[in-house]
Amino acid sequence: MAIDEALLESATIPAIRFYGWARPAVSFGYFGEVEEVERVSEDREIVRRWTGGGIVLHGNDLTYSIVIPATDRYIIRLPLDLYSDVHTTLRTVLIENGLDAVLATSASQKISDACFANPVRADVMIDGEKIAGAAQRRTRRGLLQQGSIQCEKLSPDFAKRFARALCLRAEAGSIDEALTRRAEDIAGKKYALESWLRRR
């Protein structure tokens, strides 16, 4: 979470980051209630996201974040349009992967605070089940979209192909020491604190 925030602070070009989880965990949106998360966490580690959205169980999913700096021309797109653009691209790559993916055309009735139980417009679906969702945060520095792809049938090179589909000129990068230090600072002042986890 802190690396994503540090990336948004320092981004000069759009970037996508893929990451996994060292152990099963749960993330929940900025406006969520930690008490509800604790009821369904199954003793997993819990983190509050800076973005919105519902409760997401992490473990075997492919998690990603997209950062678009405020100086990029793409930032003028409306949030739902950006969401749809990313998921349309994701759907295309899933189809190329041999999976019959479609986009939800409307929001379903909310049945719980679990993100993947409640498809919304432009979420990615396979066989009637939501397999990809995301949440956004827009600041004066740009936009952050954090997403989870919960599908066990992804090819080993799926992340690379997804990034290339989003931008044909995509190049692999790394997180440097300065950004790592900034993320550690953010984590220590926010994400590691009980006050952040239990904020109202």
Name the DSSP class of 55: B
Residues 6+ apart with CB under 8 A from 111: 117, 118
Selected catalytic residue, list 115, 132, 143, 144: 115
**Sign of the alpha-carbon torsion through 90, 163, 82, 58:** positive
Quote the tokens at residue 138. 């827009």
The upper half-sphere exposure of residue 11, i.e. CA atoms within 13 Å in the direction of its Cβ, equals 27
Query: Shortest CA distance to 3 belongs to which of 29, 13, 15?
Result: 15
Q: Within a 10 A sphere around the Cβ of 13, how many other Cβ atoms? A: 12
Quote the tokens at residue 79. 């949030």
Quote the tokens at residue 86. 């990313």
Query: Is 167 considered catalytic here?
Result: no
What residues are labeled active site? 115
